[in-house]
């Protein structure tokens, strides 16, 4: 028969305890990660929608700014052509 000392029994109990606790902890962490992955996916959808709505809300301002820039360029070119005509009426 195998003789086991108290220290050997303690090592065996500790080993079994660590295996059982490690397995349970692993299963719990896998469940938590599964639940958190759904939360992360929902938050990603939220940020994508928020970004898209922000871009759509800025579209009219961008168009308006381009129109004002085009008008400002034409006004500047007209003013420059008037100044050159005032300086040299032959042009």
**What pTM value is reported for the model?**
0.47
Which pLDDT tens digit goes with each residue over 32-47? 999 999 999 999 999 9
DSSP string, 16-77: HHHHHHHHHHHHHHHHHHHHHHHHHHHHHHHHHHHHHHHHHHHHHHHHHHHHHHHHHHHHHH
Q: What is the mean pLDDT of residues 23-31?
A: 97
84 vs 19, more confident: 19
């Amino acid at each position: 028969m195998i003789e086991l000392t108290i220290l050997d029994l303690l090592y065996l109990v500790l080993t079994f305890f660590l295996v059982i606790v490690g397995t349970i902890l692993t299963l719990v962490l896998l469940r938590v990660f599964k639940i958190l992955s759904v939360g992360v996916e929902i938050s990603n959808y939220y940020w994508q929608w928020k970004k898209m709505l922000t871009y759509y809300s800025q579209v009219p301002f961008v168009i308006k700014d381009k129109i004002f820039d085009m008008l400002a360029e034409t006004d500047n070119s007209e003013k420059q052509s008037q100044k050159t005509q005032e300086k040299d009426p032959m042009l």
